[in-house]
Amino acid sequence: MSYIVPIGPYHPSLEEPVHARLITDGELISDAEVFIGYNHRGIEKLCMERNFIQTLVLVERVCGICSHSHAMTYAMTLEAISGIKVPKKGQYMRVITAELERLHSHYLWLGIALHIIGHDSLFMHTWDDREAIMDILEDLTGNRVNYGMVTYGGSRRDVSVEQKDRILKMLAKIEDSQNRLTEFLLSDKTVALRTQGVGVLTTEDAIRIGAIGPHARASNVPVDVRIDAPYSCYDEFEFNKAVFPTCDVFARVVVRCLENIESIKIIRQALDSMPAGPINLGNKIPTIKPGEYMCRHEAPRGQLSYKVVTNGTDKNERVSIHVPTFKNAPTIPTMLKGNSVADAGLIIASIDPCFSCMDR
């Protein structure tokens, strides 16, 4: 017999509100729909009423997990409009913060995924490692979220010798822990039973629907803005795209583990080759001339795009924000089909959704 089973908009396995409508045949899902829009906050409209400094603070609050990504992308867009050249050291500081943010975001997702499949002991170990990353972010920026690290023309904070040593010590701990975690995830039977062959998104479907970020790379689609269209100073570092071919929830776990190792490599390279000089262009607020520009950034969940239009005043004419979850959410119905109702929460969570970003 066919039933309609609602998942959400408030559900124990989901951190934010989304509604999935499952059409089931017994325990199996034969079709599904996804409905969004439960968390709208009108941030794009507010950007049109704020000056550039106020907007920088505002867009950082689009999302608490990838706040630096939003501030960095918005700043790069205005810098491109005005022809502002960011000092090399300021670019390095932005990249270090971005990769620390990617680490804590991926550890957040890994912990939640392990919790959903019922592996709470490993969830606790994963989040213990995340706490070490969050402590370093607080040490470096002053905050655990919404770091306030970006200013127009560079970075607000430098890294001291003592902080550098603490970051390297943390990276050594995290790398050792990540290697053991990866080895465990690849061999554990519980993880395999709950993730392998579950929520499959084939390479063809990922390309057809337009998946991006780790979600696409887990479907064997090698897209990464940091390598495909390098920005800031990413072209000065050596790292690889984390791609996996199995196209299921298991692949999404593996890809994030592999990306953590690549982020550690980038941070170490940035610290080892940190250039001398200023980190920004001073405290003067730059004059932003009329113009428009779109900038892309590889946020933890995938490509984040900002298009900004300016009119010569101190306010934005228009700020359009295009976030990764908006591209990845349409893949959920395809992944749900043919799976059991019991796996629906895990499959939806496997895209690492941020409905706060999407319903900005």
Whether the Cβ atoms of residue 259 and residue 226 lie closer than 8 Å to each other: no
* Predicted TM-score (pTM) of this structure: 0.93
Question: pLDDT tens digits, residue range 213-254?
Answer: 999 999 999 999 999 999 999 999 999 999 999 999 999 999
Domains of the chain, earliest start first: 52-355 (1.10.645.10)
Distance separating alpha carbons of residues 306 and 181, to the nearest angstrom? 35
Q: Which helix (H) or strand (E) holds 209?
A: helix 203-209
- pLDDT greater than 80 at residue 183: yes
Among the residue ranges 7-21, 185-199, 289-303, the one predicted with the least confidence is: 7-21
Q: Contact, 309 vs 317, CB < 8 A?
A: yes
Query: What per-residue confidence (pLDDT) applies to 11?
Result: 66
Lowest model confidence (mean pLDDT) among 159-163, 183-187, 266-270, 317-321: 183-187
pLDDT value of residue 259 = 94
Amino acid at 197: G
Give the rounded percent of residues in the chain with a pLDDT score beyond 70: 97
Strand runs labelled E in 300-335: 302-310, 316-322
pLDDT of residue 222: 94
Amino acid occupying residue 337 = K
**Sequence-ordered list of residues with C-beta below 8 angstroms from that of 20, at least 6 positions apart, any chain:** 6, 7, 8, 32, 33, 34, 35, 332, 336, 344, 348
pLDDT in the model for residue 322: 92
For residue range 58-87, list pLDDT tens digits in order.
999 998 888 999 999 999 999 999 888 999
Lookup: tokens for 347: 């499959």
Per-residue pLDDT at 38: 80
- Going by the DSSP 8-state scheme, the letter that residue 306 receives in this structure is E
How does the average pLDDT of the chain come out, rounded?
89
The Cα–Cα gap between 269 and 263 comes to: 10
DSSP assignment of 122-140 equals: HHHHHHHHHHHHHHHHHHH
pLDDT score of 10 more than 80: no
Q: Report percent pLDDT > 90 for the chain.
A: 54
Residue 172 pLDDT class (50, 70, 90 cuts): very high
CA distance 279 to 98: 16
The SS3 call for residue 2 is strand
Q: What is the pLDDT of residues 312-327, one digit of tens each?
A: 888 899 999 999 988 9
Q: Distance (Å, rounded) from C-alpha 71 to C-alpha 61?
A: 9
Sheet (strand 2-7) strand order: 2-7, 19-25, 28-35
Q: Which residue has the higher pLDDT, 353 or 130?
A: 130
d(CA 128, CA 222): 31
Given a cut of 80, is residue 12 above it in pLDDT?
no
